[in-house]
Structure 1
Amino acid sequence: MIFSLILLVLIVAAALWLVLEPLRRAAPEDPDAPERARLMAERDRLYGELNTLEDESRRPDLERRAALTLRALDALPPASKAGNPARSRTLALIGVGVAALLTVAGALTFIPRWQLASLDAGEAGKVQAVLKLPGLKATAQRTEKNADYLAWGRAAFDSSNYDQAVSAYGNALKTDPRQPEALRRLGILLLTRGEQTGQQLSTEDAQRAALLIRTAAQLAPKEPESQLLLGFALSRFGQDQEALAALERYRTLDPAGRDADDVITAIRARLNQSDPALSLYAGSCASCHGASGAGGIGPSLRESTLSRAALRSITVNGKGAMPAYPNLTDAQLGLLLDLLEKWQKEG
């Protein structure tokens, strides 16, 4: 911010110097200018008559008068070269033009950066991506390098220019087909094409999108976006349990990430309505062990190796920081233990 302000001040100072310098250098008006102009006009007139003279008897008189005129011109003080007002005005106008161009250039370059300071990080990032997009596109198309295609695709995706993102990531995959970012983003764009174009997604495109996203998650399972987009895709195919597990992995990998909150809430609502065991688990256990048992404050129930009897004992009596739930009915306890054993098998 401070650096940009300093640069803009320097541009304004340079513009003012260009405007004022020609005027500063202009000397005061020549006091002998009228007489000099009269004598030069007389000289030119006499020379003109001498060149076209037909009566030679007049030549001596004309030559004498021309000599006297030249002598009078020589007697005048020399005119200052810097005292040409027409030239100074021309230079000043040129300075004004250059100053205007510099000011406009400074405004276009630096003022948007000041405006970015008033935006939140997400909005500012999107604006910056839009500004960079034409240059990144031109570079990628010129070099045809993988890194340049990825940079173009990233800027296009972040600025919601999805057609360009598809083109950029598609070209990137031609150079290297095992790139998680390009795979998962192409997959999610293909999966959500219907929302963007209003056309219904075909079964083939849906399967292709799912394959791209799953492949990216396999190649880069520890990248938060891999799990996030996998969770989104699975939820669209109605695989709520698997989607919830992927989104919880996303939260584990990026604890500050909030992009999955709405989807997780919707999935939990669907699961709790359709499955009494999940409804019971959500009300008593999910706050510590995670919505799908993958762990949170408490340990992962999916990685547990406890027997059914041990799980029953800890649930009813509690253990350590784990509270006791002695008021569960046999039917409720059976549903809960069945769910936990199912998760143990799934891992």
Structure 2
Amino acid sequence: MTGPVLLNVLLLGLVALACVWLVTEPLRTRTPDDPDAPERARLGAERDRLYAELAALTDEARRPDLERRAALALRGLDALPPAPRARRGTRTLALALLGGAALLTAVGAVTFVPRWQLASLTADEAANVQAALKLPALKAQAQRSGRAEDYLAWGKAAFDSNTFDQAVTAYGNALKLDPRQPEALRRLGILLLTRGEQTGQAISAEDAQRAALLIRTGAQLAPQEPESQLLLGFALARFGEDQAALAALERYRTLDPKGRDADELITALRARLNTSDPGLRVYAASCASCHGPAGGGGVGPSLRESTLTRAALSQVITQGKGAMPAYPDLKPAELAALLNVLEGWQREGQ
């Protein structure tokens, strides 16, 4: 975390603590006529503790859970009936609370509030929303500076938030300033290639070739970046180059073993390329995405190193085991062909 960002976080924490102090002042001087005082005090203490933890947080992985719990505490406080009017200082406290709340809202509008709203989203959805929130500032910065790196930052945020018209503009301007930008090349290419899906208009053959050239060039400039191989594989599959597409997508999986964006396409390509052997066709459609294209292992274990008998293999396939899903609907001929392939790999070993 950079110095300015850390300073802003610390200042925001101080503001939050000050506002918490103002909010809990009535609780510290509660009247005996408040039947909800114990619950109000408990929720206030819980909220204070969570705010303090957030202000001093060093492990960002804990932030969503802490903010969710803080939001629940606030929601519980809001659900309670209003506290009885304080005997003294009520007007002064109300004015102080209003000023503190306004300051917290102004300073925290881009931090705490969006994070609470994002707590119910998936990680990808939250990332997309956060990228969209950054777009106006990134666009203004790029247009003001005219630098390639600022256009790339704007393009990345637009692409990640699915704001594709801005992504095209930003990446196009970045390439005008520096045509050797792998990210801009491949992403502009895939946006051009898939424009028909976004607009409902068919892409011309000339635009398709131009898009393919952009993606290929981006992959040549950055062959070790997983996204280069991922987008290259998708583009090649569009043009019917199944073998080359599969090679690119398998390269993507090698560069990013946790990447799951190409699983369905890889399975479809393997199935199309293995039509001559029924066992390989079943394996490609149901097993290869976890156990590797040739049974050598991946997300799942190596099938070539397996010592299971044919009967045991059949039972695991049809009934499942652990993380392995069951495939009870395989026809007897399909199951037999698959078992023949697996037994052949066991004999071959690695």
Q: Which TM-score tier does this pair reach, normalised by the shorter chain?
A: 0.5 to 0.7
Residues 1:8 and 2:16 aligned together? yes
Q: Which runs of 5+ in 1 are unaligned?
A: 18-89, 300-314, 325-347
Distance in 1, Cα, partners of 2:227 & 2:246: 14
Equivalent residue runs for 1:264-275 within 5 Å: 264-273=266-275
Distance in 2, matches of 1:204 and 1:292, equals 37
Q: SS of the residue aligned with 1:199?
A: coil
Contact 1:8/1:110 (8 A) holds in 2: no
Cα drift, residue 282 of structure 1: 5.1
Corresponding residue of 2:348: 322
- Shift of the alpha carbon at 1:14? 6.8
Partner of 2:166: 164
- Secondary structure, aligned partner of 1:149: helix
Q: 2:234 aligns with which of 232, 235, 249?
A: 232
Equivalent residue, structure 2, for 1:136: 138
The amino acid that maps onto 1:252 is T
Cα distance in 1 for partners of 2:204, 2:344 equals 51
**What is the CA distance between 1:11 and its match in structure 2?**
3.7
1:94: how far off? 7.3
Which residue is 1:122 aligned to? 124
Mark the CA change 1:117 to 1:91 in structure 2 (over 3 Å): closer, same or farther.
closer
Question: 1:105 is matched with which residue?
Answer: 106
CA contact (8 A) 1:8 1:106 kept: no
- Measured in 2, the distance between the counterparts of 1:205 and 1:237 equals 13
**Higher-Rg member (1/2):** 1
**How many angstroms apart in 1 are the aligned matches of 2:237 and 2:297?**
20
User: CA 1:157–1:220 in 2, change beyond 3 Å: closer, same or farther?
Assistant: same
- Distance 1:98-1:234 versus aligned 2 partners, 3 A rule: same
Number of corresponding residues: 234
**What residue is the counterpart of 1:85 in the other structure?**
none
TM-score (norm 1): 0.57
Question: Counterparts of 1:258-297 in structure 2 under 5 Å?
Answer: 258-273=260-275, 276=276, 279=278, 281=280, 290-291=292-293
- 1:13 is displaced (CA, Å) by 4.3
Deviation for aligned residue 1:263: 0.9
The residue that corresponds to 1:190 in the other structure is 192
Report the Cα offset of residue 93 of structure 1.
Answer: 9.1
User: For residue 70 of structure 1, what is the aligned residue in structure 2?
Assistant: none
Percent pairwise identity: 62
What is the aligned-residue RMSD (CA, Å)? Answer: 4.0
| Match in the other structure for 1:47 | none
- Give yes or no for contact 2:135–2:157 (8 Å, CA) kept in 1: yes
Would you say 1:252 and 2:247 are equivalent positions? no
Normalised to the residue count of structure 2, the TM-score between the two structures is 0.57
The 8 Å contact of residues 186 and 218 in structure 2, kept in 1 or not, is answered as: yes
The 8 Å contact of residues 152 and 168 in structure 1, kept in 2 or not, is answered as: yes
The CA deviation at 1:9 is: 2.9
Query: Letter of the aligned partner of 1:10 in structure 2?
Result: A
| AA at the equivalent of 2:16 | L
Residue type of the alignment partner of 1:174: K
Asked if the contact 1:194–1:200 (Cα under 8 Å) also holds between the matched residues in 2, the reply is: yes
Going from structure 1 to structure 2, the CA distance change for 1:292 and 1:223 (only over 3 Å counts) comes to: farther
Give the secondary-structure state (helix, strand or coil) at the position aligned to 2:348: coil
Give 1:125 shift. Answer: 1.2
Q: 1:144 to 1:262 in 2, by over 3 A?
A: same
Gaps (5+ residues) in structure 2? Answer: 1-8, 26-90, 305-340
**3-state SS in 2 of match to 1:291:** coil
Q: Which amino acid aligns with 1:9?
A: L
